A and B are shown apart, each in its own frame.
Chain A
Amino acid sequence: MGNPIYNKFNNLFIILFEVLMGLLAYYVLLFYDEDSKLFTLTSILIVFILINLLIGYYLELKDNIFMKLQEKLDMENNINNSIFNLQKAIIIVRDNRSMTKANDIFFHTFDFHNIEDFTNNHSCICELFIEKRGVQHLKSSMNGISWIDYIHKYPDKRHEVYMVDKYGKERSYSVDLRENVYHEKSMVVFTEITEIKNQAETFRKLFENSADGLLMLKNNQYLDVNPTLLKIVECSNKDVFLTLCPEILLPTYQPNGVLSIDLHENMLAECMKNGVSTRHRLQKKLSGETFWCDIAMTKITVESEDVIYVRWRDIDEYKELEFSLEDQVQKQSQALLARSRLAGIGEMMENITHQWKQPLSLILNLVRLLKLELPNSRELAIISDQTNYLDKTIADFKSFSFHSDKEKKVFSLEDSLEGTLNIFKFQAEKHKIEILLKIDNDAKIKGDIGIFNQAILVLLSNAKDALIENREENRIINIKTEESRENIYLIISDNGGGIPQNIIHKIFEPYFTTKFKDKGTGIGLSMTYTIIQEAKGKIEVTNDKNGAIFKIILPKIKDEKEI
């Protein structure tokens, strides 16, 4: 064991020393006398032996120390190698010209046995770098200088390379350089970032190809925007968009009267506080057109900076549907309310007629009794007539039910018109309206006479309003019937000037009214429409030169047993 150089030196030293001792002994043999010869030679021999022993011991000791140092060094070396090889990043050591060392992960990833295997085939790791389009990365030669010099020149830049591993899989690495670590040698560290790159790319793809409009907002300024959002706001240029401020894409006010910018700021504040904020709000395209948008803001913190990620979804269609549904529900509930009110009135009428019958009946009977005593009394005759008139009016009202009857009955059109006109008569007389009635058939209709009367009364009442409004002097309402084989036609016309063409198609819509609020609710004609429809009929409206013509078409009942 031990260092051979040291061993050679030791041997030489011992030979020299022994030769010196031999010369000394020879000199003593030549020049010393007999007596002192023996003593001196003995002394020299003893000294020689002692010195030899000393040298031997010293050399032994020295060898031991050296061996221990050597072991320690080896161990350190092993540890260093292990650390070197255990690194997840690829580490290569280079001298001025080429790669001199690399860790196991390098050999393992790119399928080389060792450094010799690599250097036999390649002169530089940069031969493994691949080129990728559309991405900034290191190539073996960068603008005329070698990649390593390029890193050296721009140490603060983020350098990335792509390499293909032994399985053909593309891997990306970020590259760092440590120069002059040992005797002009430098170390290059390749840290794998394939996973991060993939995630970033996935995110980018999601961002770019999302069906929703997406944008990034930082300090209320646009950082990035995806093509869908550009399309939504009708902006053709991304760079132009990024210079806009969010207010430009908002109308001044939201439909509920809130300032859009206030709403936007509230949302931002809410998002910063809770992490998310969502609203349906009105946005504005660059063309100025507004539309409903479902906005979701999400706060994401990137490198300790808060970025707000905003998702836009154009919900104009749904919103329109929602509004029309809301509108419909509201109208329906109002119609229901109106109907229930009418039903209430109907019930009240019912009670009144019932309550009045008893006394009317009594009066009529008592008058009859009195007539026995005063057979020629004119006063009694008047009482009798007037009471009969009251009784008849009550009967008309009674038939004028506001209930919707589930049981349909057959009734004659003539009866219906008579009842209705009895009620309308008062109005007609008051407003000097002449009613021309021409019924020349005994047409029968199936349905509820009370409800049907109501439908007719609405038409008469509307005709009356038109006549009054039009200041027509000679006011006429014409009622006539016609028939075909299948149908009965009831035609009600007036000379009130007609319905303006621009609204004529709307008049049967619920709550459509041209009257002032105190005069009409807009429910009348729509109710007529519904009633006629429920009786399996149709109602049409046209104008002629005098006024409006309402034509009700009803299926004829041929045989009463048909019910």
Chain B
Amino acid sequence: MHIKKILTVDDYPLAAYTVRKIIEAFSTHKCEIKDFDSPLELLSVFEEDPESIDMVVTDFEMPQLRGDELIKRLRELKPDIKIVVISAWLDSTSKDNQCLVEKEVKNLEPDLICSKPFPDNWIELLDEILGGKE
């Protein structure tokens, strides 16, 4: 079985760590995951060998680099990179943020959008995307 290479980033380090642990624990795929608390760090690792990376799981609102910019750069390097966006803002009722972020995230056409707290089946969804490549 091909080992899936996944990079994940959240400006809240514990969050990225948990995402890594969850995927490692529950994914049916064999995964090699690296977690970052800075999208710039993730980008520099990604740049070294874009083709080897299967998926990037990223937060959206990050101070160093916003999710949209990160995804744009990733796609420049590898157009078919699988993207999962995680955001706490997604089902927020605060209309301003909700509408803006929701629209922005949707416009990016990621492979999967997850809101925090994660839905129970999110790992299955993630697995499907990963599996689709095989």
The segment out of B12-20, B27-35, B43-51, B69-77 that lies at the interface is: B12-20
How extensive is the interface on chain B, given as a class? 20 to 34
CA distance A357 to B89 in the complex (A): 10
Q: Which of A387-432 contact B (CB under 8 A)?
A: 391, 398-399, 401, 403, 405-407
Check A354–B89 contact: CB distance below 8 A. Answer: yes
The residue on B at minimum CB distance from A366 is B18
* Interface size of A in residues (CB-CB distance below 8 Å): 24
State how many angstroms separate the Cβ of A353 from the closest Cβ of chain B.
Answer: 8
Check A403–B95 contact: CB distance below 8 A. Answer: yes
**Residues of A close to B93: CB separation below 8 A:** 350, 398-399, 401, 403, 450
Q: Which of B40-79 contact A (CB under 8 A)?
A: none
CA distance A267 to B93 in the complex (A): 61
Beyond A357-B116, A362-B15, whether A350 also contacts B92 by CB under 8 A is: yes
CA distance A391 to B88 in the complex (A): 13
State how many angstroms separate the Cβ of B121 from the closest Cβ of chain A.
Answer: 12
CA distance A437 to B89 in the complex (A): 33
Q: Which of A348-388 contact B (CB under 8 A)?
A: 350, 353-354, 357-358, 360-362, 364-366, 368-369, 372
**Residues of B close to A358: CB separation below 8 A:** 12, 15, 88, 116
**Residues of A close to B91: CB separation below 8 A:** 398
Check A360–B117 contact: CB distance below 8 A. Answer: yes
Q: Is the interface of A mostly helix, strand, loop or mixed?
A: helix
**Residues of A close to B95: CB separation below 8 A:** 403, 405-407
CA distance A11 to B95 in the complex (A): 142
**Residues of A close to B21: CB separation below 8 A:** 365-366, 369
Beyond A368-B22, A369-B22, A369-B25, whether A361 also contacts B116 by CB under 8 A is: yes
Beyond A354-B89, A361-B117, whether A372 also contacts B25 by CB under 8 A is: yes
Interface 1/0 per residue, A55-95 and B, CB below 8 Å: 00000000000000000000000000000000000000000
Interface 1/0 per residue, A436-472 and B, CB below 8 Å: 0000000000000010000000000000000000000
State how many angstroms separate the Cβ of A364 from the closest Cβ of chain B.
Answer: 5
Q: Which of B80-112 contact A (CB under 8 A)?
A: 88-89, 91-95, 99
State how many angstroms separate the Cβ of A39 from the closest Cβ of chain B.
Answer: 163
> Most chain-A CB neighbours within 10 Å: which of B15, B22, B99, B116?
B116
Check A350–B22 contact: CB distance below 8 A. Answer: no
The residue on A at minimum CB distance from B114 is A361
State how many angstroms separate the Cβ of A9 from the closest Cβ of chain B.
Answer: 136
CA distance A391 to B91 in the complex (A): 13
Check A365–B94 contact: CB distance below 8 A. Answer: no
Check B92–A398 contact: CB distance below 8 A. Answer: yes
**Residues of B close to A361: CB separation below 8 A:** 15, 18, 88, 116-118
Beyond A362-B15, A398-B92, whether A391 also contacts B117 by CB under 8 A is: yes
The residue on B at minimum CB distance from A360 is B117
- Using a CB–CB cutoff of 8 Å, the interface residues on chain A facing chain B are 347, 350, 353-354, 357-358, 360-362, 364-366, 368-369, 372, 391, 398-399, 401, 403, 405-407, 450
26 sample A-B contacts, Cβ–Cβ < 8 Å, listed by A number: A350-B92, A353-B92, A354-B88, A357-B88, A357-B117, A361-B88, A361-B116, A361-B118, A362-B14, A362-B15, A362-B18, A364-B117, A365-B21, A365-B22, A365-B117, A365-B118, A366-B18, A366-B21, A369-B21, A369-B25, A398-B92, A401-B93, A403-B93, A403-B94, A403-B95, A407-B95
